[in-house]
Amino acid sequence: MSTHTEQAFRTEVEEALAAFAERRSAGATGWGHGDDRVTVVAERSEGEAEELAELRRYRAHLVDRGLAWVDGPEEYGGRALPDRFATLLRELESGFVLPDDAYLRFSVSTLCPTLLEHGTAAQRDDLLPRLRSAETIACQLYSEPGAGSDLAGLSTRAVRDGDGWRLDGQKVWSSGAHFSDLGLCIARTSPDKPKHAGLTTFLVDLRAPGVEIRPIRQLTGGASFDEVFLTGVHVPDSARVGEVDDGWSVVVTSLLHERSAIGREVGVDESLVDRLVDLARHTLDPVDARTRDDLADVIVRAWAARLTTARYLEGGGTPGPELALTKLLTTDLLARMSDVAADVLGAGHVADSGAWGSYAWSELTLGLPGLRVGGGTDEILKNAVGERVLHLPKDAR
């Protein structure tokens, strides 16, 4: 599309955002003003219901303006524009005070493209508009206490039950299950087949009888992860995603999109880099040479992560295994930022002195272990890059 068309889209988006929210001002986000929290995951222990209600109101506003899925198919309420228009929308959103959309990351960035590839026509017609509008919120039901990195070793079973299936098992580290309506669950349907070949995926109603959800309290004090217990949960066959015993291909597709979303939407927030630079400027007098080098390193890593992700996503389509790199770049960048903040703050990183913007960095540090596990551990992703991108010999199993 022409530059003029992109400019027209920019104008359209800015008008739509201005009709809903205020613009961010330097005074509201500058040093010493406003909320000083430093976090990249939604882990609210209080006010979550209010935030979700406001987020749903915002998504409904985007639907009314035709902006809920700018790069999505027109038959599901999308605009069918190139991916760069979705990127432009995200950039423009960052300039306004908007609800945290991390609550919808799986629904919008992972489940929607997965259903486009593997869902039935009825599932796409019913769910895609509701997921994009936040009328329905979904989560992932993959990991288990005995099957995390080795996901195909799961033990949750799905057994034929009349015109549907009966699910029994336990899932863990399910982000947002406690406020979700649906869960994309993978279960074993053929125990006699090799472990990757006997799995099937289902959309589970998390309000159905037999579903129990228990939040897991994190080091940050929040509880964004949950345990989900499935006891005789009936799932109609119409809620099956993909073919029977072909659930692994659905999982692979969803994980590729999840890693893409983590790299694209979480770890390359330049405003967080600016906060780190401000922290050094207001804490150290003067800023020593080693800290300046560390800050320069963070800035370079942030740009490398952003540009690498953009290059992989150029042209749209299903992400490839190389997107494991974007997730690795993201967690590496955030870990580096955490280390630099700790060096700058010293004891202030773990003891709250009351100074604005200082102790707040501890939430990022405490939330990092969860980020390094979610979407695939660093070790598993490095194996994926080595084997599927660089085509190195596989590890001995």
Cα–Cα nearest to 140, from 102, 177, 192, 89: 177
Angle between helices 121-133 and 48-64 (to 10 degrees): 110
CA dist., res. 80 & res. 41, Å (int) = 29
Question: Hey, CA dihedral for 106, 109, 114, 115, is it positive or negative?
Answer: positive
3-state secondary structure of 264: helix
Dihedral angle over CA of 384, 328, 114, 386, nearest 10: -10
SS3 for 121-161, per residue? HHHHHHHHHHHHHCCCCEEEECCECCECCCHHHCCCEEEEE
Tell me how many degrees the CA angle 113-119-120 measures, rounded to the nearest 5. 140
Where residue 278 falls (left for φ over 0; alpha for ψ -120 to 50; beta otherwise) is alpha
> Which of 142, 194, 96 shows the shortest CA–CA distance to 374?
142
DSSP 3-state of 17 = helix
Q: Which amino acid is at 183?
A: G
Nearest-angstrom CA–CA distance, 392 and 386: 5
From the list 48, 144, 258, 265, the catalytic residue is 258
Q: What are 93-97's contacts with CB under 8 Å, separation 24+?
A: 93/17, 94/24, 94/269, 94/271, 95/17, 95/23, 95/24, 96/17, 96/18, 96/20, 96/21, 96/22, 96/23, 96/24, 97/21, 97/22, 97/23, 97/24, 97/28
Instruction: Specify the residue for token string 């068309």.
Output: 5
Q: Which conformational region is residue 99 in: left (phi greater than 0), alpha (psi within -120 to 50 degrees), or beta?
A: beta
Respond yes or no: is residue 258 known to be catalytic: yes
- CB count, 10 Å around CB of 327? 28
Compute φ and ψ for 95, nearest 5 degrees. -90, 5
How far is residue 44's CA from residue 63's CA, in Å, rounded to a whole number? 26
CA gap 185, 172 in Å, rounded: 11
Catalytic residues: 258
